[in-house]
A and B are shown apart, each in its own frame.
Chain A
């Protein structure tokens, strides 16, 4: 099918509808408002549910309810709103409920700003809410990738019975790009939701959706059961892209809009005779350790570039295991780094040898 020119937030909404999202519950917050607005216009036409909730807290609890009843369900928000949703996200992970959560990140802390940011990296990858849990977290760098990943993410959430976070920044939410909505995406092998408390008890035992386990041994067993899922994500479902890595002297580590900008930086660097690659994490949880194991021997330095003060650096340190020097360049507060700035930082490092 031909490509359609669409705004990011609207394209992500349409992708969810195409993925069979049955219900959307959300609360307004900039810079993601076009997403619930699009849903309010289109979900009813498809016989599906849209509710504007009274708060982010209520929205995520509506998602928790609908997911418990077996529906494919989604919410979206932006950084301070995601912070409010963390309670419900923790409950969903604890009760093993699937859902897709889109975070169109803006600057923080507190009310912060409304311009693009990646400063939710820790909020997204460290569990965010209380308890031992993680979200499978995808960080697309283009609208096409966002659309493809959202279409697949409902399957991923159902497969793991765990929420999936789509981590984009305000730039992806607000920009327009041509998108093909008919791209084939992987289909996951899914089992029927026989666990759902959907009020259909006639031919089965009652179902209970719950994250309360008062017996410490039962809770520990439950924690270990959840850990198996996170281990499987880490073992088999890391995603990343290696860009221009052959014979690279230095590798940039960047995700989302930042990696997109770094693609231009490496072209500028080629003109200067510097061969620079990019490790682009597509999953930020699980962090793509395998990409670092694949690095060619020519790479002598790592440069982490983020729209934050370096929230991903810790993860790079962990997987680097002390092998290569790690540098950092970041802009924050809603400022998007320019390709030249990143290239200059690379030159500073390479030239400094």
Chain B
């Protein structure tokens, strides 16, 4: 039956799309376009309720409502998967935030052990390499730090210049 093929292909597409990394702006644009498409379909269904029955007959499903239900299941699956992806992304952001907090809390200990002797460094610790803007305000928060130029500070990945 045609409907089986269509539904299986749709599910496969959803799964494949979900496994690919979302491509930022393009991904967002696709989301918006599909929302508009969804709205347009809804409007058309209201205006021409019989269209679903006709479409159902074409693909070999009993009634229009059944077709609608099948479609809904596929869309829901897609929604579930994209939501999971967004959740994972959010989780990685929280992780970076929590890690930064945790390391900052022991910044003094980490520094004391690291540069034993050069205790008086500016109070903003170097962040992990991949955290954006981790050391941005180093100079701003401590503009008067006279020892910002000691070797230990120069070796750190900060915007010294």
The answer to whether A and B belong to the same complex is no
> A interface vs B, CB < 8 Å?
none
